[in-house]
Structure 1
Amino acid sequence: MTASDRSFPADFLWGSATAGHQVEGGNFNSDCWALEHASPSIFAEPSGDAVDQWNRFDDDMAILAAIGLKAYRFGIEWARIEPVEGVFARSALDHYQRCIDACHQRGITPVVTFHHFTIPLWLARKGGMTSDQFPALFARYCETVTRALRGLVVVCSMNEMNVPLIIRDVALGLLAGEEGAAKRAAAEAVLGAPIESNFLFTPPDALLRNGLGAHAAGRDAIKSVRPEVQVGITLSLQDEQAEPGAEAVRDARVAKMVDPFLDLVAGDDFIGVQTYTRTTSRKDGTHGPRAGEPVTAMGYEDRPDALAAVCRYVWHRTRTPIIVTENGFSGDDDDRRAAFIGESLGALQCAIADGVDVRGYFYWSLLDNYEWMAGYGPKFGIVGVDRATQQRRIKRSALAYGAIARAGGLDVGSTAPTPMPLASGTPIGVT
Structure 2
Amino acid sequence: MPTPPVPPGALPAFPPGFLWGAAASAFQTEGAARTGGKGPSGWDDFADQGRIKDGADASRGTGFHDRYREDVALLAGLGADAFRFSVSWPRVVPGGSGPVNPAGLDFYERLVDELLGRGITPAPTLYHWDTPLPLDRAGGWLERDTAARFAEYASAVAERLADRVPMWITINEPAEVTLLGYAIGEHAPGHRLLFGALPAAHHQLLAHGLAVQALRAAGARNIGIACSHSPVRPAGDSEADRTAAAVYDTLVNWTFADPVLTGRYPDEELAALLPGPVAEDLSVIAAPLDWYGVNYYAPMAVGAPEPGPAADGAGGGTEGAGGAFGGITLPPDLPFALRETESEERTDFGWPVVPEGLYDLLTGLRDRYGRALPPLYITENGCSYGGLDDGRRIAYLDSHLRALHRAVTDGVDVRGYFTWSLTDNIEWVEGASQRFGLVHVDYATLERTPKASYAWYRDTIAAQHATRGTSG
TM-score range, shorter chain: 0.7 to 0.9
Q: What SS does the aligned partner of 1:384 have?
A: strand
Q: What SS does the aligned partner of 1:401 have?
A: helix
What amino acid maps onto 1:372 in structure 2?
W
Paired position in structure 1 for 2:173: 160
1:54 equivalent to 2:65? Answer yes
Q: What SS does the aligned partner of 2:20 have?
A: strand
Paired position in structure 1 for 2:76: 65
| TM-score, with structure 1 as normaliser | 0.83
Deviation of the 1:363 alpha carbon: 0.5
1:151 equivalent to 2:164? Answer yes
2:172–2:227 CA contact under 8 A, matched in 1: yes
Where do 4+ consecutive residues of structure 1 move more than 6 Å? none
2:52–2:430 CA contact under 8 A, matched in 1: no
1:248 equivalent to 2:302? Answer no
1:279–1:301 CA contact under 8 A, matched in 2: no
Q: Deviations over 1:231-288 (max 9, x none)?
A: 1111111122223413332222112221121111114222111111122123544223
1:265–1:271 CA contact under 8 A, matched in 2: no
Q: Distance in 2 between matches of 1:345 and 1:373?
A: 28
Q: Distance in 2 between matches of 1:269 and 1:260?
A: 20
Deviation of the 1:43 alpha carbon: 4.9
Paired position in structure 2 for 1:216: 209
Q: Distance in 2 between matches of 1:202 and 1:10?
A: 45
Paired position in structure 2 for 1:370: 426
Q: What SS does the aligned partner of 1:324 have?
A: strand
Q: Distance in 1 between matches of 2:446 and 2:242?
A: 48
- Aligned-residue CA RMSD (Å): 2.5
Deviation of the 1:168 alpha carbon: 6.8
What amino acid maps onto 2:103 in structure 1?
S
In the alignment, structure 1 segments of 5+ residues that lack a partner are 176-186, 188-193, 412-431
2:424–2:437 CA contact under 8 A, matched in 1: yes
1:35–1:43 CA contact under 8 A, matched in 2: no
Q: Distance in 1 between matches of 2:59 and 2:410?
A: 46
Percent identical: 30
Q: Distance in 1 between matches of 2:172 and 2:223?
A: 12
For the structure 1 residues 119 and 167, does the alpha-carbon distance in structure 2 shift closer, same or farther, using more than 3 Å as the test? closer
What amino acid maps onto 1:311 in structure 2?
L
Q: Distance in 1 between matches of 2:367 and 2:124?
A: 26
Q: Deviations over 1:154-182 (max 9, x none)?
A: 1110110111455479934x59xxxxxxx
Paired position in structure 1 for 2:293: 272
Q: Deviations over 1:67-107 (max 9, x none)?
A: 22111000110111111331111111011001011111111
Q: What SS does the aligned partner of 1:162 have?
A: helix
Q: Distance in 2 between matches of 1:268 and 1:384?
A: 35
| TM-score, with structure 2 as normaliser | 0.76
Deviation of the 1:364 alpha carbon: 0.4
1:238 equivalent to 2:233? Answer no
Which of 3, 13, 19 matches 2:19?
13
Most deviating of 107-116 and 76-85: 76-85
Q: Distance in 2 between matches of 1:83 and 1:143?
A: 15
In the alignment, structure 2 segments of 5+ residues that lack a partner are 1-10, 35-39, 262-287, 306-335, 468-472
Deviation of the 1:307 alpha carbon: 2.0
For the structure 1 residues 210 and 239, does the alpha-carbon distance in structure 2 shift closer, same or farther, using more than 3 Å as the test? same
Q: Distance in 2 between matches of 1:201 and 1:251?
A: 17
For the structure 1 residues 32 and 165, does the alpha-carbon distance in structure 2 shift closer, same or farther, using more than 3 Å as the test? closer
Q: Distance in 2 between matches of 1:400 and 1:24?
A: 26
Count of residues in Structure 1 that have an aligned counterpart in Structure 2: 385
